[in-house]
Structure 1
Amino acid sequence: MADITLEFIKTGLYTSIQDLGRAGHEASGVPKSGALDSRSARLANKVLGLEKDYPVLEITLAGPEILFHQAVDIALTGAKFPVTLNGKDVKRYQKIKVPANSILKFGYAKRGCRAYMAVAAEWKIEKWLGSVSPLGFGSHKLKENIINQNGQLVHFSTYNESLEAQEVKKRINLNPIKRVRVAPGSEFDMLSKEGVASFFGKAHSITQEASRMGYKLATELKLESNQNEMISSGILPGTIQLSSAGNPIILLADAQTVGGYPRIARIIDQDLDSIAQLKPGDKVWFSLADTVRK
């Protein structure tokens, strides 16, 4: 099989190689990781006829500039970025034929936060515990799967078999104001009546403290008592903790697996992908999921 090489002339703000993560290792302290907007990652692969858990590039807010040394097909999904191939605009959610020695250039996200790029070739990268996704808390594991150096190279092998492109109709909602459903967390009852009313009664702004580990919200909520630290307990992506200052924090795929703050709610799995498309300054409303309404 012939080699294909992508050279990152510019890395972008935060560009990494992700798949659907490594579920099942939380008890050992290993986060799930993986694409934050897993729906868009799966759709990028679907456009090219690839398996849904195939690796993709996750591109955050400010995108990279990539030199394709060889020809290959790609697909883009997720956030709406201005993207040009050799100076000409390209569209999302369709197969893009990239000629050899072409330059693909991303601008800044216009709507949403994260785009995904699938490549119709075999990634020549390392896995750990069944996933290519790098860990997000300073570990050395798979750090080479983070694109953080201008001039960095990523290598592929071409496929022997031909791939059939597929039409994709459903797309992620890129509205900067999201309504998401939650279930009460284990410590939900620690919220005061005013805290509950504030949690469900208004939009919460995403602060600048936003990463793959989690989003801190600008709101301050009150507890029934001053006890907002507790014995460390298990947490999962989508858990909403209340910090010592009273700020809700939405935990995402790279968050640690235990925490010592009250778990006031958890975003239901069906709505978690949409959170990944929020950026600082965007807003989120919470509502109680129908399955837990009385």
Structure 2
Amino acid sequence: MSIEVVSPGLCTTVQDMGRYGYQQHGVNVGGAMDTPAVQIANMLVGNQRDAAVLELTIKGPTLLFQKDMLIAICGGDFSPTINKKLVKSNRAVWVRRGSILQFSHAKQGCRAYLSVAGGWDVPIVMGSRSTNLRAGFGGLAGRMLQAGDRLGHNPQSPFSSYLAKQLEQKARDHAFSYTDWFIPSSYFAHSQERGVRVIRGDQFDDFTAESRQSFFEQAFQVSPQSDRMGYRLTGPTLALTSSLELISAAVTMGTIQVPPAGQPIILMADRQTIGGYPKIGYVATVDLPIIAQLRPGETIRFQEISLHDAQRALHERERTMNEIKLGMELTVGWR
């Protein structure tokens, strides 16, 4: 085993990029909430982008390292320390056996991700290692981590071994060392009041003119009843021009449904597979990490974006990811 869980934090689970191909059977996609943070964390340690990571929510765990390991921490700021010394995020970190990694409450953002060279080793269920908490499968026994749990990791790549050797030599007698280079925080989503880009939904025109205007001009607050399944928002009441009877249809992450009470819900990673409420909009995929990093009580505003521009923004993000990967390999001297 690679680590032992001393304390589990509020909600720490194993996640990857999701479980695809089973929604017709009622199995949701799930997976990590902030996928760019996952991909960068994996690239930093030489993994494939979809390797399993630990997702930390609001309050992080305390972990005991049982072997030397190469890790990376990305996403929200949880003030991580190794043996009581602050460790920097958004870079590769080599950690010596016997060290203790401890996370605090999130100072910024809502979720952080801990990758390890090789990826966390849990069984693959329906093509994914992600934890499905509601159904109780995947990840580690289908649940959040508990004190006393032990996790291993898969064999690491040649790049990971090369980088780990560099950092081990740099560490000398210290408990850990990290790269001088890092990924700037500007590449990650930050939970703050800002515009979240939204494509008009199938029933957008069925809402009153006042509701459509309020949707894009007024702020909404994240409710404490929000979770991995959906973010409930409070704000101006969104009303239909007349009642609708809709047939339940497939939904995706970022779908914004409006129940009869008029307060929207943004469906997230653990969403149901179908929904019957009117859809006023869809959060552009490129802005989903902003939602994932929002904490209860924080506010957001919606901005309209066309489908074409949303696709272009996503394409630009993918290009940036490829540039990050190439840049890391050149910096390490791997190529």
TM over 0.5: yes
Structure 2: how far apart are the matches of 1:186 and 1:136?
A: 30
Corresponding position: 1:58 with 2:74: no
State the alpha-carbon separation in 1 of the partners of residues 210 and 148 from structure 2: 52
Matches within 5 A, 1:1-294: 4-142=1-139, 144=141, 146-159=143-156, 161-163=158-160, 165=163, 167-169=182-184, 171-219=187-235, 220-227=237-244, 230-291=246-307
What is the letter of the counterpart of residue 199 of structure 1? F
Shift of 1:140: 3.8
Does 151-160 or 76-85 show the bigger shift? 151-160
Deviates further, 153-162 or 33-42: 153-162
Deviations 1:124-145 (A, max 9, x none): 3111121101224334454625
Higher relative contact order (CA 8 A, sep 6+): 1
| 8 Å CA contact 1:241, 1:262 repeated in 2 | yes
Q: Distance in 2 between matches of 1:19 and 1:140?
A: 14
1:122 shift after superposition: 4.9
Query: What is the rounded CA distance, in whole Å, between the counterparts of 1:252 and 1:202 in structure 2?
Result: 22
User: How far did residue 161 of structure 1 move?
Assistant: 3.2
User: Does the CA contact (< 8 Å) of 1:206 and 1:218 recur in 2?
Assistant: yes
Report which of the two has the higher share of helix. Answer: 2
Q: Is the 8 A contact 2:52 2:119 kept in 1?
A: no
Deviates more, 1:130-139 or 1:177-186: 130-139
Mapped contact 1:78–1:171 kept (Cα < 8 A): no
Cα shift readout 1:163-192 (whole Å, capped 9, x = no counterpart): 255853452131421311111111112211
Q: TM-score normalized by structure 2?
A: 0.81
- C-alpha separation in 2, matches of 1:115 and 1:42: 12
Between the aligned residues of both structures, percent identity stands at 36
Give the superposition deviation at 1:146.
3.4
Code of the aligned partner of 1:216: R
Does the CA-based 8 Å contact 1:136-1:212 persist in structure 2? no
Q: Which amino acid aligns with 2:13?
A: S
User: For 1:143 and 1:217, how far apart are their aligned partners in 2?
Assistant: 31
Normalization by structure 1: what TM-score? 0.91
Q: Amino acid of the residue matched to residue 252 of structure 2?
A: L
- Report the number of matched residues: 289
The verdict on how the C-alpha distance between 1:99 and 1:254 changes in structure 2, with shifts beyond 3 A counting, is same
Q: Secondary structure of the equivalent of 1:210?
A: coil
- Between stretches 128-137 and 58-67, larger displacement belongs to 128-137
Q: 1:32–1:115: structure 2 CA closer, same or farther, 3 Å change rule? A: same
| Structure 1 pair 195–84 and aligned structure 2 pair: CA distance change class (3 A) | same
Q: Deviations over 1:255-282 (max 9, x none)?
A: 0111121111111111112210111011
SS across alignment from 1:114: strand
CA-based RMSD of the aligned residues comes to 2.0
In the alignment, the residues of structure 1 paired with residue 238 and residue 143 of structure 2 have an alpha-carbon distance, to the nearest angstrom, of: 35
**Greater share of strand:** 1
- Could you tell me how far apart the structure 2 residues matched to 1:242 and 1:79 are? 29
Letter in 2 for 1:21: G
Does the 8 A contact of 1:241 with 1:249 survive in 2? yes
Q: Is the 8 A contact 1:136 1:255 kept in 2?
A: no
Alpha-carbon spacing, 1:160–1:189, altered in 2? closer, same or farther (3 Å): closer
| Structure 2 residue ranges without an equivalent (≥5) | 164-180, 310-335
Please give the per-residue CA displacement for 1:22-73, whole angstroms capped at 9, x wherever unaligned: 2233222221111110000000011112111111111011100111111111
Sort the Cα spacing of 1:162 and 1:193 in 2 relative to 1 into closer, same or farther, 3 A. Answer: closer
